[in-house]
């Protein structure tokens, strides 16, 4: 779907590489500019191939040298977009800021991925996913009363509020550049994106489904939208919010005549109803509840580990996951015309450097993008 769109990625960690991978999954041609050697957040040397680089070409360049900077500038001459995830000001100090790059290619969409944004009193501070969504308010309701808020690792901030917003911004910028001939600078901040994602929650708050106090809202205090422990220490989820789904849940559990559950929206009784459902679900292993409830309109699903999810029949039939060399990989999303897109191969670090540099030195930059 993105065939012909060319992206230069200045490799970093987190949402920037994911955004570039997502664009590559959808057909864009991406050249990942990597360091000759880099360290992971644990302080250990990264592996020579990165699963986030699937479908990309990998070029090694030292951006602190004139040669490395010129490599990037030559690449962006024929690119539609650049992605970088440095702290504000770093790319400018390297001589690769928006002003320099747009002078080289006025139609370039310059995508900037940060946590706090390019401006504001915290713009230059270090941070991670949980910090950004904590400040935006997105973390607040991710927990129950009396427990510390907890969120899925990287999903709400780095991916949801960061990478996907950057992807939309880049594609919007490319459409505008093709219409006007003018490039743009995209400031994708996780704190902004995660706040924007809460607009649905704000509409629920207006309807009384979300309250200011944690543990008093549908998603963190009700009995019918919750996660329950089973007898085998696995977990299941129910989301029986609508009246007909709630009635079906009660029927399946033999509670349709239990007076305690007569008033679904009696918030004063939610703790009592939740406690009783917890006892019921704790009485049987997860497999029992899957056999009874999975695939029904109760709105039910087991809580699976990623490795368990690989073999779930629904995900197997849809081809959601593959496993290569012990690494779980999800298929590109979304799908078009019902087809599963095969992700591109994962290059070894720098394996395309020689071919790309040869094309640039020969004055044939278009060949640098051909795999």
| Tens digits of residue pLDDT in 310-343 | 999 999 999 999 877 678 889 999 988 888 888 8
Q: What pTM value is reported for the model? A: 0.90
Mean pLDDT within 103-108: 96
Selection from 173, 281, 165 nearest residue 226 by Cα: 281
Structure tokens belonging to residue 347: 């290059």
Element (H, E) at 102: helix 98-104
The residue annotated as part of the active site, out of 128, 219, 276, 288, is 128
Structure tokens belonging to residue 337: 């015309």
Alpha-carbon distance of 8 to 111, in angstroms, equals 10
The residue annotated as part of the active site, out of 80, 158, 192, 220, is 158
Query: What are 9-26's pLDDT values in tens digits?
Result: 999 888 999 999 999 999
**pLDDT at 167 exceeding the cut of 80:** yes
**pLDDT at 154 exceeding the cut of 70:** yes
Mean pLDDT within 175-192: 96
Alpha-carbon distance of 74 to 105, in angstroms, equals 10
Structure tokens belonging to residue 230: 């089973």
Q: What pLDDT score does 149 carry?
A: 82
pLDDT band, residue 212 (cuts 50/70/90) = confident
Query: What are 34-66's pLDDT values in tens digits?
Result: 987 755 555 555 567 788 999 999 999 999 999
Domains defined along the chain, listed by start: 6-197+341-369 (3.40.50.10540), 222-303 (3.30.1540.10)
223 in catalytic set: no
**pLDDT at 344 exceeding the cut of 70:** yes
Count CB-CB contacts under 10 A for residue 282: 14
Alpha-carbon distance of 253 to 302, in angstroms, equals 16
Q: What pLDDT score does 203 carry?
A: 74
Q: How distant, in Å, are the alpha carbons of 17, 75, 87, 290, 318 from that of 9?
A: 7, 10, 15, 43, 30
- Whether the upstream peptide bond of residue 334 has omega within 30° of 0, thus cis, is yes
Q: What pLDDT score does 152 carry?
A: 81
Q: What pLDDT score does 45 carry?
A: 53
pLDDT band, residue 208 (cuts 50/70/90) = low
158 in catalytic set: yes
Q: What pLDDT score does 47 carry?
A: 63
Mean pLDDT within 79-90: 95
């Amino acid at each position: 779907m993105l065939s012909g769109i060319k992206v230069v990625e200045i490799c970093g960690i987190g949402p920037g590489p994911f955004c570039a991978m997502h664009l590559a999954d959808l057909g864009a041609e991406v050249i990942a500019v990597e360091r000759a050697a880099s360290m992971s957040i644990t302080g250990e040397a990264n592996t020579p191939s990165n699963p986030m680089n699937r479908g990309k070409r990998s070029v090694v360049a030292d951006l602190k040298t004139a040669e490395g900077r010129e490599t990037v500038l030559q690449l962006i001459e024929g690119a539609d977009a650049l992605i970088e995830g440095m702290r504000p000001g770093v790319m400018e100090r390297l001589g690769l800021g928006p002003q320099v790059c747009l002078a080289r290619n006025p139609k370039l969409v310059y995508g900037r991925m940060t946590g706090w944004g390019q401006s504001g009193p915290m713009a230059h501070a270090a941070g991670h996913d949980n910090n950004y969504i904590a400040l935006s308010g997105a973390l607040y309701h991710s927990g129950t009363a009396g427990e510390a808020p907890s969120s899925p690792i990287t999903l709400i901030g780095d991916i949801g509020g960061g990478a996907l917003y950057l992807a939309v911004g880049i594609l919007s910028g490319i459409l505008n550049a093709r219409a006007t001939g003018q490039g743009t600078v995209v400031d994708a901040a996780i704190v902004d994106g995660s706040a924007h994602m809460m607009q649905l929650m704000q509409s629920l708050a207006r309807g009384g489904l979300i309250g200011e106090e944690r543990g008093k809202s549908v998603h963190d205090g009700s009995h019918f939208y919750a996660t329950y422990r089973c007898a085998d220490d696995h977990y299941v989820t129910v989301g029986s919010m609508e009246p007909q789904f709630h009635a079906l849940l009660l029927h399946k559990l033999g509670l349709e005549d239990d007076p305690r559950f007569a008033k679904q929206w009696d918030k004063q009784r939610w703790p009592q109803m939740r406690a009783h459902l917890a006892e019921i679900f704790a009485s049987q292993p997860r497999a029992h509840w899957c056999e009874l409830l999975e695939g029904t309109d109760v709105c039910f699903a087991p809580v699976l580990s990623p490795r368990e999810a690989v073999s779930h029949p629904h995900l197997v039939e849809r081809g959601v996951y593959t496993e290569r060399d012990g690494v779980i990989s999800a298929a590109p999303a979304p799908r078009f015309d019902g087809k599963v897109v095969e992700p591109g191969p994962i290059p070894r670090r720098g394996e395309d450097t020689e071919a790309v540099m040869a094309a640039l030195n020969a004055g044939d930059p278009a060949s640098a993008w051909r795999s």
